Amino acid sequence: MSAFDLPARAADSDLSEAVADARASVFGTAPLVQCLTNTVVTTITANVLLAAGAAPAMVDNAHEAAEFARVAAAVLINLGTPDDQRAEAMRAAAASATTAGTRWVLDPVAVGGLSFRTALARDLLDQRPTLIRGNASEVIALAGMGEGGRGVDTTVDPEAAEPAARALSSRTGGVVAVSGPTDVIVAGDRTLRLGGGSEMLTRTTGAGCALGALCAAYLGATADPLAGTLAAHLHVALAAEEAEIRTAGPGSFVVAWVDAISATGPDELAAGLLDRLA
């Protein structure tokens, strides 16, 4: 069903090994991630990528986006603050990435609630993103199965978005991740559910956007898009749990979270997965 090598059903122990290998690959290859992201989250996105061992490149202008997408390990396209020039750059980067075989992530921020970005996101679907990562409202709206939420917020349970995620995965041949208290990750006929994390992530500007960038880093470093997506979500969740223990509020949480992303390695991912698979 897909141009990608999505895995057969595997035992939990195999998944633990896969996420550990994915983390080691990010450490070992320092994937170059081109970020066409929104203006609110540029700094935290770059810092999270650096902390994880990846190399961020904020090449987001229409003159260079396509050229850079051909040489990047992966590309993030985040629709948080779109305008005409950014939309041109995003279309060019997505088309170039698809042609070059560069994996790329579509983060459809607030799609469904605003017409310009919704039309842009649906255009970008034609370029078959390797991964779509969003909240339940965004994924449902992108699939044309309902309206969007309130900006980046959603009150819709990720489980309700599974049919939409499955439809999008079928259309693109890629992975669809629905973020929430329990993340729902769909790839073809396979669905994984991952719990854990911290409510503090919902009080931190750009946490979800940084997750999208980290997913791109994992996709650029690993052979298996599903394992890479699972590893990125687990990495963020484990780091958030550690940061919450060490801090008392959202300001200090951000700093501790970035530190914990840096400190979380393959062994921590392997050990932490089984308790969080829902």
The annotation places the binding site for substrate at: 58, 206
Binding site residue list for ATP: 133, 179
Could you give the CA distance from residue 194 to residue 231 in angstroms, rounded to a whole number?
10
Residue the block writes with tokens 């994984």? 192
> What are the tokens at 55?
């190399």
Could you give the CA distance from residue 51 to residue 53 in angstroms, rounded to a whole number?
5
Sign of CA dihedral 269, 23, 77, 58: positive
Q: How far apart are the first and last CA of the chain?
A: 26
Could you give the CA distance from residue 82 to residue 90 in angstroms, rounded to a whole number?
9
Q: What strands lie across the sheet with 190-194, from one edge to the other?
A: 55-57, 32-36, 74-78, 103-107, 131-135, 175-179, 183-187, 190-194
Give the strand pairing for 183-187 and 175-179: antiparallel
Query: What DSSP character marks residue 143?
Result: T
> What are the tokens at 158?
């990720």
Binding site residue list: 58, 133, 179, 206
Could you give the CA distance from residue 272 to residue 29 in angstroms, rounded to a whole number?
23
DSSP H or E segment with residue 33: strand 32-36
Q: Quick one: how far is CA 125 from the chain centroid?
A: 15
Torsion angle of C-alpha atoms 133, 173, 182, 136, degrees rounded to 10: 60
